[in-house]
Amino acid sequence: MFKKPTQVYRPIFKKAWEITKQNRFLWIFGLFAALAGNGGIYEILFKGFGRIVGKGDLAAGSNWSWIFETLSFPRLEDIYVRSPLFVSFLWVLFFAILVALAFLIWLVITSRGALVASVKKIASRKKTNLHEGWTEGKKYFWPVLGLNALSKAMTFGLLVLITVPAMMYLTGQGGNLGLDLLLYILSFVIFTALALFISFMAIYASCFVIMENKPFVEAIRLSWKMFIKNWLISIEMALLLFLITIGVGVGIILFSILYMIPVALLLFAFSYLELSLGFWLIIFLATLGWFVALFFAGAILSTFQFSSWTLLFIEINKKKIWSKLLRFVGLNK
């Protein structure tokens, strides 16, 4: 006799949604955390693959040659002699962009740490607020930044490696189209598996740093052990969250279509009445409203995703959880 399957994901998703819905201050963290991508597990796979298929941008160095020609020392010296004020302005603009980028990175990483720390407290029935969450996020900024930077660098390295067989297939330089296609498919499958592994390690290591106060190296070691023991449930969780993300994306598309119907009617009316000021005002307000709705959806989705991963970490860190597939075939009896 098989044991009756015990639900795992549904309680986690239900609790994650309750936390997201009842603690709206988390949306602020979720909004900034989403700036680096809601699904770090997913976006590198599809964006990277799209770039490879899209004429191999990584290998097309000639497209960027004009930048290096413009930034050559003789060219810069000539520009500076002719327009010193303009060059000074460019330097100021350059440093301003660097400062803004550094601030954005600090905001994103701190928000991610604050989100995980806040969800942990809420799941433990402890009260928290925006200020406490922000303080916790700042506390773990450097180790979380290091983990994210390491995972991004490793994934980008894999993306560079997969470019070689991809370009051989797309350009036919390998001489054997069938073999090139096989190498292309195999390299992408391997890249996908390794990229998923890196993403899971980054998630669990961040949780160990924030929730267990583990040092950087120790967190990576523990995340490795956790993934080895729970690799199947990690993949299932990622797939379920991916399906939820797709559902939200479809919902946003439908909302956009319905949203544009009254906007289009108003624009037609103002155009017919030749009220140009009202026409442009409607465009501005409609665009602003759409972006506000999009930001809210992204913040809520990001909060839900981080809450789900945090709750899953709490569960698998304290007890053995069987994956849905193993429970379905009755291997947890």
Answer yes or no: are the C-beta atoms of 6 and 327 closer than 8 Å. Answer: yes
Give the residue extent of every domain in the chain: 9-54+63-329
- How high is the pLDDT of residue 60? 43
Please determine, for residue 72, whether its predicted confidence score (pLDDT) is greater than 60: no
Reported residue count of the chain is 333
**Residue environment code for 103-135, b if the CB has 16+ CB neighbours within 10 A, otherwise e:** eebebbbbbbbbbbbbbbbbbeeeebeeebbbe
DSSP assigned state of 64: G
Q: How far apart are CA 221 and CA 52, in angstroms?
A: 32
pLDDT digits (tens, 9 = 90+) for 7-24: 788 999 999 999 999 999
Q: Helices 177-211 & 231-272, crossing angle to 10 degrees?
A: 100
d(CA 24, CA 303): 9
Q: Which of 111-120, 188-197, 208-217 has the lowest mean pLDDT?
A: 188-197
Is the pLDDT at 128 greater than 70? The verdict is: yes
**Does residue 151 surpass a pLDDT of 60?**
yes
Spatial distance between the Cα atoms of 19 and 21, rounded to a whole number of angstroms = 6
Q: Is the dihedral of CA 223, 228, 229, 233 positive or negative?
A: positive
Confidence of residue 1 (pLDDT cuts 50, 70, 90): very low
pLDDT band at 175 (very low <50, low <70, confident <90, very high): low
- Per-residue pLDDT at 186 exceeds 70: yes
Which pLDDT belongs to residue 253?
A: 94
Share of the chain above pLDDT 90, in %: 56
Has residue 39 got a pLDDT over 60?
A: no
* Residue listed under structure tokens 């994934």: 155
Confidence (pLDDT) at 158: 82
